[in-house]
Amino acid sequence: MQAWCFICFNGSVMPDTPHIHRSAAAASNPLAQEPLPKIGLSPEDLAQMYRTMVLSRTLDERIYQLNRGGKAAIFGSAQGHEAAQIGCIRGTDPSRDHYLIYYRQLTAMLALGTTPLELLLGFLAREGEPLSMARQFPLHGAHPRVDLFSFSNVVATQVPQAVGVALADRMRQEDRVTIVFFGDGAASQGDTHEGMNFAAIHKLPVVFFCENNRFAISVPLRKQMAVENISSRAAGYGFPGVTVDGTDMIAVYEAVSAAVARARAGQGPTLIEAMVYRLLPHTTDDDHTRYLTKEEIDLMHREGDPIPKAAKLLRDRGLLSAAEEQTVKAEAQRTVNEATEKAEAAPYPPVEEMYRHVYSNSSGPSGKGSQ
């Protein structure tokens, strides 16, 4: 078997050959040193992004505990993806844009305004869960306040749907951008190729946001594709593709902001590939020690955890003291504890709920939110 560098996940790079790691190369992002006004983010923006990342991590850990306690059926952890997701959402406009997410998006959902309580009600399948009324795989639901689409377990179905949402906006001349999230695994699905081609033909306002964590469950990139970067495929459809360090929230924010601006200007789609590490197994049902060594897992946590990186970024700019860092963690813990208590106290839905919402009884064209 061909040797390959784990950090670069690249079969063409031998681990014992001197080279600049792909993640390290991306990490030397010159933007990180730029003054804030030039980046377009205020100190409060950065602090807010950091707080959401910490909240996501805290909630993520809690859901894992609930799963291990037999209370939450299944969970695909977002640990390692937090900076990519927060940077991406910050580069969009949640007051008007559309979001078609996938299953590893706890941070994105929190950033969009879904609350820890709502998400925990989903994991525990309790009555009053607003995303699906306890019908849907956790995190896959739609949301009445947030423009979120319900997601399928069949990987990549959201890509053509996102294209359709953008097509509807184009036809109604609405100034909205559709952001569709997917992983490197979904990049191999036909739906992804077809959807990108269709969006390119019509120059639709779509941002294809790929969180490349280098594994489709257990299958590494080198067994998923023969090219080094997914972003290079954009050229084949006729729009730009960029690869960014997904552990750097500012780099992601910049790339997404540019793509959104491009979409709003009528210049069509962009493919963004955010390189991240999946710090935990694929889901709570997976055990990644079956396909990763302990050294590799340790290395990944050392190189690829975006939260210490974000904390350092804030500290370097004088925006986060050691005391404040502790306060942020304590606040997140308190929020998650309160939400857990409330969610566990909520009742299960009545059996009759099973029969509701199979069909719509109303006629007339409609969209999300109507009956």
Contacts to another protein by CB under 8 A:
98, 100, 129-136, 140-144, 149-150, 152, 154, 157, 159-169, 171-172, 190-191, 194-195, 197-198, 201, 356-371
Q: How far is the CB of 116 from another protein (least distance, A)?
A: 19
Amino acid sitting at position 10: N
Q: How far is the CB of 83 from another protein (least distance, A)?
A: 28
Kindly report the backbone phi and psi dihedral angles of residue 27, in degrees, each rounded to the nearest multiple of 5, phi listed first: -70, -20
Catalytic machinery residues: 278, 282, 291
Q: How far apart are CA 60 and CA 68, in angstroms?
A: 13
Cβ nearer to another protein, comparing 142 with 225: 142
Q: How far is the CB of 238 from another protein (least distance, A)?
A: 13
Kind plus residue range of the DSSP H or E element containing 201:
helix 190-201
Cβ nearer to another protein, comparing 70 with 369: 369
Q: How far is the CB of 175 from another protein (least distance, A)?
A: 14
Supply the DSSP string of 42-76, one letter for each residue: -HHHHHHHHHHHHHHHHHHHHHHHHHHTTSS----
The position carrying tokens 């390959």 is: 4
Cβ nearer to another protein, comparing 17 with 370: 370
The answer to whether 211 and 104 have CB atoms below 8 angstroms apart is: yes
Cβ nearer to another protein, comparing 138 with 246: 138
Residue 40 burial by Cβ neighbours in a 10 Å radius (0-12, 13-18, 19+): middle
Q: How far is the CB of 261 from another protein (least distance, A)?
A: 22
Cβ nearer to another protein, comparing 43 with 144: 144
Spatial CB neighbours of 284, under 8 Å, sequence gap ≥ 6? 64, 67, 68, 72, 74, 75, 76, 77
The answer to whether 146 and 99 have CB atoms below 8 angstroms apart is: yes
